[in-house]
Chain A
Amino acid sequence: MSQQPIQLPLPGFEAARVRWQGEYDQQIGAENTRRNRSGVEIQPLYSPADWSGGRYLESLGFPGQVPMTRGIYPSMHRGRSWSQRQLIGLGTPEDYNERLKRILDAGGSAVSLIPCNSVYRGFDADQVDALLLGTCGAVVNSVDDMDTCFDGVDIATLSTAMNDPLPFTLLALLLAVAKRRGVPWSKVTGTSNQSDYISHFVANHMFFRIALPGSRRILVDHIDFAARHLPGWNPVSVVGQHMQQAGATPAEAMGLTLSTAVQYAQDCIARGMDPDTFLPRFTFFFDISISFFEEIAKLRAGRRIWCKLVRERFGARDPRAWRFKFHGQTSGVDLTRQQPLNNISRVTAQAMAGIFGGLQSLHTDAHDEVLSVPTEGAARIAVSTQNILREEAHLTDVIDPLGGSYYVEKLTDDMEEEIRAVMDRIEDAGGMYRAVESGTVQSMIGASALAFQEKVESGEQTIVGVNAYRGEDDLSMRAALSRPRPEVMQAQLERLARYKRGRSMDTVNAGLGDLARSAGSEQDNIYEKVVDAAIAGATHGEIVATLREEMGCGEPLVQV
């Protein structure tokens, strides 16, 4: 809620302010109101009249202390830098393994696995047109494929962000590999990065595999399974990125994401889980646009809202539950194809906003990411950007350096108000699940997308190189496409065929049969059966097909 600025008894303040205003108006003349993407009005200047810090403990607090506006840990990036988790995924499991090893050699320990679009759609490689295989991510269908991905790598020392939506077959395959290698599951660390089926239903249809009611159940089963068997794994990542990329304003994206988290928490509580067991494992994933200050304020406001929410609404007592942990990715939507080197500047600004916003983990897009999977050179620059910001610009020497800025604090308050308004709308619609089922959320986002498009069309929002400052494209920067050669994919298909032939079909069918039955039984944990089926040798496509058969295929709500 808005903080009322304290009326300062400073003598001369008001007179000086009025004088400035007069001189400003004289110099500027008439001007239009400026608003940021979320609709908040932005003044040319902020002063103690807007925010004066009188309620420091209540509205800001120290890092690691309620309400955590300034950061979730006492030392933040000074103690431990954000993890640089670069996305990788291309071609075959061997290709993935090669890139993975290079990242690990360069000192990384946190990785992602981005599967091929065919995997996202729930298919094995032999179910889609071969032209589409491996162009945007790695083709991983079987436990052998997963084993190859991590060949020669100790999975117990790695943190993996598995970019695989519900029903999380890739994690199941990884657990099968761990079993094979004798690595205890307690050592398997990482995050189910794409567990947010609601955001997929709304804004990333490719990821939405199982119909809503089935998804709702499987997510809770997954959280429950992780609570019991995977102490190092975060089963929930609530994703604001998809909705913001689909056109939601930053305030909407945060409000909708928090509403989704509330929905998932309620579903877990309805299952009988104690908030202190599952809330500490909730993580978030945000798009960071180039609206610099707006993003910083959005993230700080989110932190504050979440902290209050989990304490007041869910009664969480474990401080780990109060911490708003999030990963940020610089927004690809702001990048342009024209004059692509400009994207390096854009990503730098976006990354800075994320750092000042206090993220825990950051992915910086490569400048050619807008065309296809990034080239190695571009990916290196993206990583260097983070290193430069941290070590040359010293951005992390001070925790929450913009704290106390009149503008940033006032904007954080304003953004909180906008975010809460969105959350109230969702509450009125009966909660996030009902709101997306009925299309309320989709309409909201569609309207914002259209509004932004109008601004770009009219020139009100400049995009350098596109609607202003146009010039010759940098010919030398036409990105070389890195696509798998047909022979390589053909070999992968053959390998899949051999794998399928070489297993015990009795074991596989028994596993899939159990999985199918669990869908119809309230008592079973479906995710447990997913993992069992993976261990029994079933492929990704087979597991997804079984669940689709029982629970319905995920169809997005397509509105015109």
Chain B
Amino acid sequence: MRRAAGTGVSHAISPDNLLEALVNGDARALARAISNVERHTDAGRSTLLAIQPHLGRARVVGVTGVPGGGKSTLISRYVRELRRVNKRVGVIAIDPSSPFSGGALLGDRIRMAEHATDEGVFVRSLASRGQAGGLAPTATHIIDLMDAAGWDRIVVETVGTGQGEIDIADAVDVRVVVCATGLGDDVQALKAGILEIADVLVVNKADLPGSTTMVNQLEAMLALRAQEARDVDVCKTTATTGEGVAALAKTIENRLSTGESRKLRSQLRMRRLLAAAAGNLLTRRLCDLDEQWLIEICESLQHGEADLESAADRVLRSGRVSSDD
């Protein structure tokens, strides 16, 4: 008998069941909750509120690095180490959306093939979807969902090309930056901002000549820093063989267990998130405003009759919503 619609039975999850299933660790509920959050639905927002009491157990590791550095393979090996000690691991793999079409090719799972049937590893591929206010809000929400669902370690993987990573920096507990030997990049060429935020620097492809040089270059760079900024570990790995990964995992674990930096980080994170969320809210608000009034405000800005800050302040305080409501 031909089934024109779908392959069979679908167990839809109702909103009430969703929260309960989620905090009980149900993967399907987690997946659905993530989708809701990505799509900014009401169900998503209410779930985020409801999970607040269940947060705080998970430790979050951010991993970034340039394409071709072996970052994905390294993460897969790192996950293997975590699984060895029975940690449940969530992975959020972020790739850019095409600015032209809005679509995305999400291929990070390719390197995670060894965990494909391990129910203790939950991998979610996320497209940046060109969000204003940066990626941080959505990724942070997903981190929280995984936290609430009982995942012990959460790895957030980003491509190291720019702003996105610096946004994510506050949402994670330990920041790992993967450099790779033989990419032709000098340490100098790597974006300064990314190196600034690293807690752990990894020189991957250590089997290639030049890896020791790279380690030396990084350590020299660190030595030039002010005392407070020097607390950075430098590790060598060969992701393809797994060499050095166990040591890297230990290094990360040590940092995760220092509660001090986490609290501080958490505070800072909250502030920045608040600012980002406010930014997003304001952007959406602009769409709701009375069109004519908005034109007047913009013209006054163009003519130099008002400055940006006071204009923004007016928008925030105003109740002048669009009359086509």
Direct A/B contact, Cβ within 8 angstroms:
yes
Interface string of A8-25 (1 = CB under 8 A from B): 000000000000000000
Which B residues are CB-close (under 8 A) to A28?
none
Q: Which one of B68, B107, B110 has the highest number of Cβ atoms from chain A below 10 Å of its Cβ?
A: B110
| A131 is an interface residue with CB less than 8 A from chain B | no
CB distance from A438 to the nearest CB of B (A): 8
Which A residues are CB-close (under 8 A) to B68?
438
CB distance from B232 to the nearest CB of A (A): 29
| B190 is an interface residue with CB less than 8 A from chain A | no
| A558 is an interface residue with CB less than 8 A from chain B | yes
| A560 is an interface residue with CB less than 8 A from chain B | yes
CB distance from B118 to the nearest CB of A (A): 18
Interface string of A435-451 (1 = CB under 8 A from B): 00010000000000000
| B268 is an interface residue with CB less than 8 A from chain A | no
Interface string of B96-119 (1 = CB under 8 A from A): 000000000101001000000000
CB distance from A557 to the nearest CB of B (A): 10
Interface size class of B (residues with CB under 8 A): under 10
Which B residues are CB-close (under 8 A) to A560?
105, 107, 110
SS of A interface (majority)? loop
CB distance from B130 to the nearest CB of A (A): 19
Which A residues are CB-close (under 8 A) to B105?
560
CB distance from B185 to the nearest CB of A (A): 14
Closest to B241 in A: A552
- Report the bound CA distance from A438 to B182 in whole Å: 11
- Report the bound CA distance from A21 to B68 in whole Å: 52
CB distance from A427 to the nearest CB of B (A): 17
**Considering the complex, which residues of chain B in the window 93-149 have a beta carbon less than 8 Å from any beta carbon of chain A?**
105, 107, 110
- Report the bound CA distance from A438 to B180 in whole Å: 13
- Report the bound CA distance from A128 to B50 in whole Å: 46
Closest to A555 in B: B113
Closest to B113 in A: A555
CB distance from B275 to the nearest CB of A (A): 34
- Report the bound CA distance from A560 to B110 in whole Å: 10
CB distance from B66 to the nearest CB of A (A): 14
- Report the bound CA distance from A560 to B67 in whole Å: 12
**Considering the complex, which residues of chain A in the window 309-354 have a beta carbon less than 8 Å from any beta carbon of chain B?**
none
Which A residues are CB-close (under 8 A) to B107?
558-560
CB distance from B290 to the nearest CB of A (A): 45
Which B residues are CB-close (under 8 A) to A559?
107
CB distance from A122 to the nearest CB of B (A): 16
- Report the bound CA distance from A559 to B110 in whole Å: 9
- Report the bound CA distance from A438 to B105 in whole Å: 20
Closest to B182 in A: A438
**Considering the complex, which residues of chain B in the window 297-317 have a beta carbon less than 8 Å from any beta carbon of chain A?**
none
Closest to A439 in B: B68
Closest to B111 in A: A558
Instruction: Identify the A interface with B (CB < 8 A).
Output: 438, 558-560
Listed by A's residue number, 7 A-B pairs whose Cβ atoms lie within 8 Å are: A438-B68, A558-B107, A558-B110, A559-B107, A560-B105, A560-B107, A560-B110
Pairs of residues from A and B, 5 with the lowest C-beta to C-beta distance, nearest first: A560-B107, A560-B105, A558-B110, A558-B107, A438-B68
